[in-house]
Amino acid sequence: MPSKTGKNRRRVVVFGLLGPAACLALAGGWSARLGLSVREHLQATKEALRNLPVSDPARLGGALAVAQRHAAEARRLTSGLDWSLLAGAPVTGDGATTVRGLAESAAELTDVLAGVHRAGAGLLQAGGFSMDDMGRLLDGLDSAAPALDAATARIDRTRARLAVTPAETGLDELDEARGTALHELDRLHGWLGAASDAAALLPPMLGHEGPRRYFLAFQTNAEARATGGLVGAFGILKAGRGGLGVEHLSANNGLRTSRAPVVDHGPAYRARYGRHSLSMLSVSNLSPHFPYAAATWTALWEQQTGRRLDGAIATDPVGLSHLLRLIGPVTLPSGEKVTSENVVDLTERQAYARYQDPEARKRFLIRIAGTVSEALTHARPEPEKVLPVLSEMVRSRRLQVWSRREAEQQRLAATPLGGVLPREPGPYAALVINNSAGNKLDYYLDRQMEYRLGPCRADGYRVSRVRVRLTNDVPRRKLPEYVTSRLDQRDHDRSPGSNLLWVSLYTAVGARNGGVWIDGRSTRVIEAVEESHPVLTTVLEFAPRQSRTLEFHLLEPASAANAVVPVQPLARRQQTRVVLDRTGCVPESPPR
């Protein structure tokens, strides 16, 4: 399904295909007329894609056909004998070869988009879908899945062919256009891959072949946990051809602690997180590897109720804000409006000031979760709005999903939706915070991280540095006691607003600790390994408004791959900067 975001990405791709033909047309000694003709057709392609009527399905096919026609003509002109002679000439050869590659990419791109439109035509309807249309929606996604898989593979091949064209032609504008086109084809490949995954996963997981039931966790980022936050409320999501529904909404005390572990994640897990993490909801998500938490949640529910679940889903107030952008504001029974702009502050700050009684506050939060869930089941969002919103939720890890079925889980694990710690080699740094004070001050936590990767060395390693700055940005005004109270070491006096954080850095597979400095002083930290990632951990005390700095020196296996830096979904965004020096790095595999 095309979206406004997708349209913008396509537009940038085609912009990158235009300038080169003009450059070559003005490079003397060959057919300017031929080059200008290529330029005209690429210009027409650009205009057609720029003005795609994405909100009018009836006109969209025709507009794509126009783009296809002009892109196909540009490819025809650059595939003939005249252009082949230019590509073989010593002066114009590299430039002509790259322009031909760009014209081929434009033609492939428009063909792919037209095919995706045909495959998703049944999903594009005025007025959007509601969950009452679930059966038809799932049928449409299931039918579109093969075409989306094929489109993803085709863009992959297109990108590979363009990648082997000359990168340095002597024409700066052409070289820049080639780089831009490669980058945008990568982005389109990611967009199509996400759509392909959705079309493959959503029908079975939402009950196309039979009803499904999932543990639905609402995480509270005000008290940090590795997957996002403390599970403050939960429910059971039911999915089937008749639609979606949420039942058994409850505060976290509605799920009893087990007397014995309900799952076994292995001895390394138990040694790091303790047996209570396998039997108690409040500490069940100390690991950033989402499948661990999800399996524990479902097992706790199944032990208490005797009813089997198909998996688990987690979101948080920021995730609810994205959903409210999609469906619009909701009104609580009291008449209070909850919007995408106020839901995070309302649930993670205002609620604590408004309700001194914790039970009353929990009832208020459950009313919000229930009202949004109910509204979602009856909303009719426009199709072009759905993918950008859901993509942002997945990218920022505001939506995480685990399936009990192995085939589904394998596909989920390959996407950000799965929330897994990947075991693949390559540069990797993930900052993970767990609240150790039992308070709700992480709403005010600011995080900054710089990951600086040095050049690859002849011995197969590189020196990298990760610098982390954490700030307890608690306001000077008095906060509710429930927010600031400390459950750790209660007999010690602490300033109101002080905090205690369990800070971990998950590093690249095969990395070695080269030293850790906290506030400029060399410090020993706890070292462990989780899912093949070396982990460096310490516990830090924070006074109100105090900032602390950690610097990690690492010896990492050399790699030309891009750095992977997952960001823990907390209340405030993490500021992240990556500096990657590929000097001396040999690619681990040929370009796609």
Query: Per-residue confidence of the chain (592 residues) as pLDDT tens digits?
Result: 444 444 444 333 333 444 444 344 334 444 566 777 877 887 788 788 777 776 666 777 888 888 899 889 889 988 888 788 777 877 778 888 888 888 898 899 889 888 888 877 666 554 555 556 677 778 878 888 888 899 999 999 999 999 999 888 888 877 887 888 888 888 888 888 888 888 888 888 988 889 999 999 999 999 999 999 999 999 999 988 888 889 899 999 999 999 999 999 999 999 999 999 999 999 999 999 999 999 999 999 999 999 999 999 999 999 999 999 988 999 999 999 999 999 999 999 999 999 988 899 999 999 999 999 888 877 777 766 777 788 888 889 999 999 999 999 999 999 999 999 999 999 999 999 999 999 999 999 999 999 999 999 999 999 999 999 999 999 999 999 899 998 886 656 778 899 999 999 999 999 999 999 999 999 999 999 999 999 999 999 999 999 999 999 999 999 999 999 999 999 999 999 999 999 999 865 433 3
The upper half-sphere exposure of residue 8, i.e. CA atoms within 13 Å in the direction of its Cβ, equals 4
Pairing of strands 575-580, 445-453: parallel
- 552 in Cβ contact with 516 (< 8 Å): yes
The upper half-sphere exposure of residue 493, i.e. CA atoms within 13 Å in the direction of its Cβ, equals 0
How many whole angstroms separate alpha carbon 172 and alpha carbon 177? 8
Backbone angles phi, psi at 494, to 5 degrees: -135, 145
The upper half-sphere exposure of residue 563, i.e. CA atoms within 13 Å in the direction of its Cβ, equals 24
Query: The tokens 């949640």 sit on which residue?
Result: 297
DSSP state of 442: G
CA 297 to chain centre: 23
Question: Shortest CA distance to 130 belongs to which of 389, 376, 385?
Answer: 376
How many whole angstroms separate alpha carbon 386 and alpha carbon 180? 27
Cα separations in angstroms, 465 against 148, 352, 427, 455, 587: 40, 39, 11, 12, 21
SS3 270: helix
Give the angle 381-408-393 at the CA atoms, nearest 5°: 35
Neighbour-count burial for 242-274, b at 16+ CB within 10 Å, e otherwise: ebbebebbebbebbeebeebbbebeeebeebbe
Burial class (CB within 10 angstroms; exposed 0-12, middle 13-18, buried 19+) of 382: middle
Sheet order of strands, 400-403 included: 243-251, 228-240, 212-225, 311-315, 400-403
CA 564 to chain centre: 12
Neighbour-count burial for 69-105, b at 16+ CB within 10 Å, e otherwise: ebbbbbbebbeeeebeebbeeeebebbbbbbbbbbbb
- 218 in Cβ contact with 281 (< 8 Å): no
Query: The tokens 């996963």 sit on which residue?
Result: 201
Task: Give domain limits for the chain.
Answer: 4-205, 212-403, 423-580
CA dihedral angle for residue 334, residue 339, residue 345, residue 349, rounded to 10 degrees: 10
Look at residue 489 in the predicted model and tell me its pLDDT.
67
Look at residue 133 in the predicted model and tell me its pLDDT.
67
- 333 in Cβ contact with 368 (< 8 Å): no
Look at residue 216 in the predicted model and tell me its pLDDT.
97
DSSP state of 460: S
The upper half-sphere exposure of residue 556, i.e. CA atoms within 13 Å in the direction of its Cβ, equals 32
Look at residue 64 in the predicted model and tell me its pLDDT.
86
SS3 98: helix
Where are any strands of DSSP class E within 226-271?
A: 228-240, 243-251
Look at residue 364 in the predicted model and tell me its pLDDT.
93
Sheet order of strands, 499-507 included: 429-435, 499-507, 533-542, 526-530
Look at residue 7 in the predicted model and tell me its pLDDT.
43
Enumerate the β-bridge partners of residue 314. 217, 400
CATH no. of 212-403: 3.40.630
How many whole angstroms separate alpha carbon 165 and alpha carbon 369? 53
SS3 164: coil
Where are any strands of DSSP class E within 115-211?
A: none
Burial class (CB within 10 angstroms; exposed 0-12, middle 13-18, buried 19+) of 461: middle
How many whole angstroms separate alpha carbon 150 and alpha carbon 411? 16
What is the 3-state composition of the chain as percent helix, strand, coil, each rounded to the nearest 5? 45, 20, 30
Cα separations in angstroms, 373 against 117, 202, 245, 332, 367: 30, 18, 8, 12, 10
SS3 418: helix
Burial class (CB within 10 angstroms; exposed 0-12, middle 13-18, buried 19+) of 477: exposed
